[in-house]
Amino acid sequence: MNVLVANLGSTSFKYRLYAIDGAEARLLARGGFERVTDHGAVIDQAMNELAAAGHKTIDAVGFKTVLGGDITGCLLADEKVEQALLATADLAPAHNPPYAAGIRTFRERLPAVPRVALFETAFYQWVPPSAHRYAVPEEWYQAGIRRYGFHGASHKFVAERGAELLGRDDIAQKVRDLYIAGPQSSGTLASGLLASGLRVISCHLGGSSSVTGIRDGVAIGTSMGLSPQSGLPQNNRVGDLDSGAIPCAMRRLKLSLENVEKQLTKESGLLGISGVSNDVRDIKAAADKGDARAQLALDVFIHSIRHWVGAFWLEMGGCDALVFTAGIGENNSWLRAAVCENLAGLGLVLDPAKNAANATEQNLAAADSRTQVLVIPANEELVVARETARLLQAKAGRVNGEG
């Protein structure tokens, strides 16, 4: 099955075409356009490019949609999905409107090709209310103000690949089936701890970052909340903040709400603390030269990662594998060492020689470490392509009476 993964920004369109055959995935082509004003025109152009390169068959289009409120999961991207994206655009203004428009454009341009939305919130569908409810009045909750979670594609991939690397093919298979069959398909899933349980803490550390606790392949909680503005300090977004800070800043600094929102999304996070950059490479270089604000930004980031790792470690009664993924997690051994510091008492010991290597899939734990420490490179487009193919194949199987 040839799956086109469409990555849509407000002024950009990037695509990758994969051939998915069971567990095998091959990248056939990729391309993209910047400074886009007419998404319909560039989609036509992309189709022409693909046809000229001999890729005439597109069996499905997959979209990594961010937030749709109550609408979540991996599902056909129909008009209800388009409406849900627009209805929650206030919480994901950079992503939801272009995805709604992109899905509509593909529907108009390629009506016979099925479209699939993989929501970033999908992996958190089964997080219990105790971990997703804020202590707000009931009316706020009814209005959709709750923790949703993001980076679901990446954390689900960690759940699947992590289980494979740890020799738990039973759990890897359950993760593969998760969006089709739901968690109840699992024979070993339970809310309590099982001897056979697999407890993974996944750290997606990149342009934006989150930590997720995963028990037996299913997320039990995440650092991300109502919007991608929450949890760990992000590159230029604030992360968790006391709700009292907003009215306080408005009064003391005489800021409008609009200005507060802008500063918290564009001028905060690692950039706001360091004053140097939103890129960890630049911040680390400045810190190494003695820049105190740059060092503080790194210290706050590492403190926040450890805070969330500790929360899930306790919640799950232990951790079989701590996983690092995405640009920062895959490429910065000094950061992994800092996150893992002084955890020997909990059974985690890093092997410094193994940790020195970057950017490859590997286990960094020392031989006597009870907790494994994995690097799993992220490839979110591939995840979208695979989940799209899984959904459509499951639907075809059901129609043909196989499932």
Q: Per the annotation, where are the binding residues for ATP? A: 14, 279-281, 327-331
CB of 64 to ligand ADP, least distance (A): 11
Closest distance of CB 279 from ligand ADP, Å:
4
Residues making up the binding site for Mg(2+) = 7, 380
Among 88, 186, 331, 379, binds ligand ADP (CB under 6 A): 331
Site string for ligand ADP, 310-329 (x = CB under 6 A): ----------------xxx-
Distances in Å between the Cα of 38 and the Cα atoms of 93, 108, 312 are: 18, 14, 44
Q: Minimal CB distance to ligand ADP: which residue?
A: 327
Nearer to ligand ADP (CB atom), residue 113 or residue 285: 285
**202 scored as a contact of ligand ADP (CB under 6 A):** no
Q: Which residues between 251 and 290 bind ligand ADP (CB under 6 A)?
A: 279-281
CB of 328 to ligand ADP, least distance (A): 4
Member of 68, 206, 225, 228 binding ligand ADP (CB under 6 A): 206
Task: State in angstroms the smallest separation of the CB of 360 from ligand ADP.
Answer: 12
- Check binding of 149 to ligand ADP (CB under 6 A): no
Nearer to ligand ADP, 220 or 280 (CB): 280
Binding-site residues: 7, 14, 279-281, 327-331, 380
Q: Which of 7, 154, 332, 355 lies at the binding interface for ligand ADP (CB under 6 A)?
A: 332
Q: Which residues of 329-367 are buried (b: 16+ CB within 10 A; e: fewer)?
A: bbbbbebbebbbeebeeeebbbeeeebeeeeeebebbee
Residue 73 · residue 125 · CB < 8 Å = yes
Give the residue with the Cβ less far from ligand ADP, 31 or 310.
31
Exactly one of 32, 207, 275, 377 binds ligand ADP (CB under 6 A); that residue is 207
Residue 371 dihedral angles phi and psi, to the nearest 5°: -95, 130
Pairing of strands 115-118, 74-76: antiparallel
- Cβ of residue 31: shortest distance to ligand ADP, in angstroms? 18
Calculate ∠ Cα 82-232-353, nearest 5°: 115
- Output the smallest distance, CB 361 to ligand ADP, in A: 15
Round to whole Å and give the CA distance between 350 and 363: 9
Residue 158 or 218 with smaller CB distance to ligand ADP: 158
Closest distance of CB 207 from ligand ADP, Å? 3
186 vs 170: CA distance, rounded Å: 9
Binding mask 35-74 for ligand ADP (x = CB under 6 A): ----------------------------------------
The least distance separating ligand ADP from the CB of residue 287, rounded to whole angstroms, comes to 13
- Binding residue count for ligand ADP, defined by CB under 6 A: 11
**Please, are residues 75 and 62 in contact by the beta-carbon 8 Å criterion?**
no
In the complex with ligand ADP, which residue's Cβ is closer, 92 or 326? 326
Q: CA 223 to CA 221: how far, in whole Å?
A: 7
Indicate whether 89 belongs to the interface with ligand ADP (CB under 6 A).
no
Applying CB under 6 A, the span of 11-19, 128-136, 205-213, 386-394 interacting with ligand ADP comes to 205-213
Q: Which is nearer to ligand ADP, 43 or 378 (CB)?
A: 378
Return the number of other C-beta atoms located less than 10 Å from residue 264's C-beta.
Answer: 20
Binding site for ligand ADP (CB under 6 A): 206-208, 279-281, 326-328, 331-332
